[in-house]
Amino acid sequence: MTTTYGFGFDLARPRSRGARIARIDALATLLDTALVIPGTGVRFGLDGLIGLFPVVGDIITTALSLFIVHEAYQLGAPGHVIARMLGNVALDGVLGAVPLVGDAFDVLWRANRRNVRLLLEWLERERRTVNRVVGGRRVAMCVLPVVT
């Protein structure tokens, strides 16, 4: 039995790759763009709100951002993608720690949405390299285990 708390994603570890991607996408949305300032169209998320609490709020939001990076690592993202994601989190964590100005930066930078976009772009490139069109026919390349 999985438990959901109305945020649109399961807190239990999903088994499928698609479910894991959906979960971190929902978390990134919740943290960065779930709410709108009425009359302005400016979107923000819990990252900006939680970050208003000095030190503790920044630690919590950075930990949640690192969870997204960890999930990307678990999904097999290469080192250069993980490094860019960590750079986004570090920039968000350091500049977000500055009172008030950092909270405005959190709203505008949206490190979690950027990181999900990096992951999705890498996954799309991987999908295209695995499904190559050769001589007008689609050939799926696969990795075969080597038996020693």
Give the model confidence (pLDDT) of 55-109 as tens digits: 999 999 999 999 999 999 999 999 999 999 999 999 999 999 998 899 899 999 9
Q: What SS3 class is residue 137?
A: strand
Check residue 11 and report its DSSP letter: S
Give the model confidence (pLDDT) of 31-44 as tens digits: 999 999 999 989 99
Q: How far apart are CA 65 and CA 97, in angstroms?
A: 14
Enter the tokens of residue 143: 């990795």
Q: How far apart are CA 89 and CA 114, in angstroms?
A: 10
